[in-house]
Amino acid sequence: MKYIFAALLAFMICCCTACSEAEEPHMECEVEPVAGDDNDVTGTWKLVIGEHVFDPAAPRMEDYSCDNIIYHFRDDGLLSISSDVEDHLGAFGDGQPYELVEDTIYATDGFLLKLGSGSSTINYLCSILEGVMELDDRPLEGPLLTLVRVTQEAS
């Protein structure tokens, strides 16, 4: 009877630890977000984490917190990107048009960030909370990008 109780207790401990929430991705370098409007992307953002779970080669998570991959969402509706890393996750062409709109495609309560124009437009699920933005293209087997606001545009 002791062995059954011990085995049952061990099984319950394994189940409880296996069901715990996933930890936030670890960033090697701390990046403090600048406060701003949670429904406005204009300003300068730093890419800190890139995840691609559907990568054909192998799933990967990249920590870019110590690198300088800067996304500047300009007031004129264009995205400028500067980077000290070649071929990073989320490498878009510089000077792409962008638009933040309410999500009508995936039926979330959030936004879509439309990057590009015409048939080359990419629709990212976009959420912003306390200066941290997530751009999610996982529904279409793309990456999840985490950016931190480093400057807010003057309105």
Q: Look at residue 39 and tell me if it is in a domain.
A: yes
**pLDDT, averaged in runs of 10, over the chain (155 residues):** 50 45 63 89 94 74 92 94 81 82 74 88 89 85 89 69
In-domain check, residue 9: no
Residue 21 lies in a domain: no
| Residue 74 located in a structural domain | yes
pTM of the predicted structure, to 2 decimals: 0.75
Q: Is residue 105 part of a domain?
A: yes
Domain count, the chain: 1
What CATH number did the domain enclosing 131 receive? Answer: 2.40.128
Q: Is residue 35 part of a domain?
A: yes
Structural domain boundaries enclosing 140: 28-152
Got the DSSP string for the chain?
-HHHHHHHHHHHHHHHHHTSPPPPPP-SS--PPPP--TT---EEEEEEEEEETT-SS--EEEE-TTS-EEEEE-TTSEEEEEESSTT-TT-PPTTEEEEEEE--SS--SSEEEEESSGGG-EEEEEEEETTEEEEE-GGGT--EEEEEEEEE---
Let me know if residue 78 belongs to a domain: yes
